[in-house]
Amino acid sequence: MKKQLWVLFSTAMLLSACGYHLKSAVNLDAAYDKTYIQHAISAPLYRPLAIALSNQGLKLVDNAADATAKISIVKDSLTKQIQSIGTNNRVQEYRLDYELIFAVHFLDVTEIPEQTLHLSRDYAFDIGQITGTQTEERILREQMYEDMAQMIIRSISSHSKPN
């Protein structure tokens, strides 16, 4: 029993010593309390962004007229490019490049002018393991949408006046 307590205590001390802490909500301006996302609901970014904003304690509204803040997605582009080709003239690596341009408006006033965010991820391609490669690409895309949603929130937070 003492050994288990010692292990638990040691783990807690190590975590606190390394600077680890749980991610908390960012401070956003009170105008974000009712937020509208101006983007197609069917777009792959919409759901991760809606979840991330909800996790910050914001209420998402379905109608722009009811919103105090509107996040406008101007450009949402995820492209796939060949990164490298092997000696047998077959693709060995691909790169996913994600570019997003967004703006934030409070009522009819532009709070954050258009900003551009970028993400890139490389992944290996093996024609012999096509199923695994396709799954890896799908997972990378999903992670990129989630990462982009977090980047939007951090960008908004850096422009916000705390409550």
pTM beyond cutoff 0.75:
yes
Looking at per-residue pLDDT, the higher value among 156 and 23 belongs to: 156
Average pLDDT over residues 11-35: 69
Query: Domain residues of the chain, as ranges?
Result: 26-159
Q: Which amino acid type is present at position 35? A: T
CATH architecture classification, 26-159: 2-Layer Sandwich (3.30)
Q: Report the distance separating Cα 139 and Cα 161, nearest Å.
A: 35
Q: CA-CA distances (angstroms) from residue 75 to 4, 29, 37, 43, 114?
A: 53, 24, 13, 11, 10
The set of residues, in sequence order, having a beta carbon less than 8 Å from that of 84 and lying 6+ positions away, is: 91, 92, 93
Secondary-structure percent of the chain, ordered helix, strand, coil, rounded to 5: 40, 35, 25
Instruction: Give per-residue pLDDT as tens, 63-79.
Output: 999 999 999 999 999 99
What's the pLDDT band for 111 if we cut at 50, 70, 90?
very high
Q: Report the distance separating Cα 65 and Cα 88, nearest Å.
A: 58
